[in-house]
Amino acid sequence: MRLDELPAPVPAHIDTAGSATARQPLARRFSAWLFRDHGAEPTPIVLTQRRVFVLPTRAGLAFAGALAAMLIGAINYQLPLGFALTFLLAGLGHSAILHTFRNLARLEIEAGTAAPVFCGDPARFTLRLINCRSNARYALQLRSAGALARIDQIEPQASSLAEVLLPTQRRGWLGLPRVTLETRYPLGFIRAWSYLQPDMSVLVWPRPEPAPPPLPWGSGSAGGIAASAAGRDDFSGLRNYQPGDSPRHIAWKAAAGGGPLLTKHFSGMQAGNVVLRWDDLPPQMDSESRLSRLAAWVERANAGGIVWRLDLPGCSLGPGEGIGHRNACLNALALFGQPRESA
């Protein structure tokens, strides 16, 4: 056969790309099986023996290299004390493997509190680590998405709380990513770790607008307060000044005496309903800006003890007041426009 009759070779990059594509699903499945990466799991989570992984650290590898050098020297020079020291240190290293493994094994993890936060504030995931053994556990670390939490000691038959702080960048539900729980106790030669992902999530509220306009008082197109003129004349007391309060209602005489800035509160204002309407906001504002302004108004109305109603497209809350109504309104703002499956 002549050289020009030989079949052209198949480009190597085509075969490599095809085999790499075929290996990717297999590698992901193997990694998910080995490290139990199956998504969120219910609590309590018990770290059984199959969930704890053990490998030497850099210090452990250096320790093993030193032992090998000591053993070679003892063999070469026939040093009985060299053999004794080498085997003694080797036994110490072997014991460290067991103690590091036992520091994590059979530890229980329960989900704690996860209160809602405003966007931009850190989300706080609280985990409870329970030690059911008769010996204490030391030097535990939890890592998740760059966050780090440390527990110095868990007493026997006791528990300890660990708080994982994660940054928030957008509103809605934020789930707790996979957490790596590790320890290097007692000597630092061995690293034992386990992966866990408790089924926890935090609701992130929209960030209130820093300097919103005053609440939409009056009965104009922006909604208002349904109070009679006679009701506005019924003075009911003083409260702390809130940004956006009308200058006509400020107690200037009290402020002139060097006291704090106070606002006159009337029974008509307390009985009326401030309506916060989505459709009455300026049309040039985008959705996130509207949610931010409504969140700021909800905070201001709640701080001022005002009855308010929140009107969103397809949703209306109130009228009401108090912390419960405030949380319900902020929850509605956080989940506005998001699919129901995300909740």
3-state secondary structure 16-70: HHHHHHHHHHHHHHHHHHHHCCCCCECCCEECCHHHCEEEECHHHHHHHHHHHHH
Cα 55 to Cα 37: distance, rounded to the nearest angstrom:
19
For residue 157, what are the contacts with CB-CB under 8 A and spacing of at least 6? 131, 132, 133, 134
Q: What is the pLDDT of residue 338?
A: 83
Task: Say what the pLDDT of residue 233 is.
Answer: 45
Query: Which phi and psi angles does 242 have, rounded to 5°?
Result: -115, 140
Q: What pLDDT shows up at residue 128?
A: 96
Distance CA 86, CA 80 (A): 10
DSSP 125-163: EEEEEEE-SSS-EEEEEEEETTEEEEEEEE-TTEEEEEE
Q: Provide the pLDDT for residue 236.
A: 58
Q: Parse the chain into domains and list their residue ranges.
A: 39-205, 229-342
Taking the C-alpha atoms of residue 34 and residue 76, their distance in angstroms, rounded to an integer, is 43
pLDDT of residue 231: 40
The residues near 35 (Cβ < 8 Å, ≥ 6 apart) are: 53, 195
User: Taking the complete model, does pTM exceed 0.85, yes or no?
Assistant: no
Residue 3, pLDDT score: 37
Q: What is the pLDDT of residue 305?
A: 83
CATH topology of domain 39-205: Immunoglobulin-like (2.60.40)
Instruction: Give, rounded to a whole angstrom, the gap between the first and last alpha carbons of the chain.
Output: 70
- What confidence score (pLDDT) does residue 160 get? 95
Amino acid residing at 65: G
pLDDT at 76: 93
Peptide bond preceding 44 in cis form (omega within 30 of 0): yes
Give the pLDDT of residue 229.
33
Q: How many CB atoms lie within 10 A of CB 89?
A: 14
* pLDDT string in tens for the chain (343-residue length): 443 444 444 444 444 445 555 556 776 666 666 666 667 899 899 999 999 999 999 999 999 999 999 999 999 999 999 999 999 999 999 999 999 999 999 999 999 988 999 999 999 999 999 999 999 999 999 999 889 999 999 999 999 999 999 999 999 999 999 999 999 999 999 999 999 999 999 999 999 999 898 888 644 333 333 443 334 445 556 667 766 556 666 777 766 766 677 776 655 444 456 899 999 899 899 999 999 999 999 999 998 888 899 999 988 998 888 899 999 999 999 999 887 644 4
